[in-house]
Amino acid sequence: MAEDQKDRFIQYLAEQHQENELTIKAMKLVLKDFMVQMKELEDQMASIQSKQSDLENRLSKERKLRQSAECKAKSIQEKLDFANQERFGDKRQRIHFKAGKSASDRQKDDSTDDTLRTDSVTENKPQEAKP
């Protein structure tokens, strides 16, 4: 090779080396920025996971409280239904009279007339009004 070609080749290699060094420096800076962003994202992710864990615990507690309240409400409703049933009677026990049945028919069916004592009531003595 001629001296001139050698100098140009050396110059070319030096420029290539310099470009490679600049590329390496740029890559290191980009990698450094990337690592800083990655660290920030990891911190944010840890914070989000902590909040998620806290929210899951709160949700679990509230779910237990809701289930407890539902059981309590169901128990109270059952007690209320039982109290109403005792107070007003069961619907199955109510007697529905026929619309065509009159009051005299009810008196005829009543068997309590014979069983009542009437000796304390005087039949022909009207009560006298005191002046």
Residue in this structure with the two tokens 């001296």, named with its chain if needed: 3
DSSP for 44-93? HHHHHHHHHHHHHHHHHHHHHHHHHHHHHHHHHHHHHHHHHHHHH--GGG
Q: In whole angstroms, what is the distance from residue 110 CA to residue 15 CA?
A: 126
Three-point CA angle 70, 72, 73, nearest 5°: 65
> Using CA atoms, how far apart are residues 71 and 65, in angstroms rounded to an integer?
10
The pair of structure tokens assigned to 5 is 């070609």
What are the pLDDT tens digits along the chain (131 aa)? 688 899 999 999 999 999 999 999 999 999 999 999 999 999 999 999 999 999 999 999 999 999 999 999 999 999 999 888 888 766 665 555 555 555 555 555 555 555 555 555 555 555 555 54
Task: Write down the pTM of the prediction.
Answer: 0.45
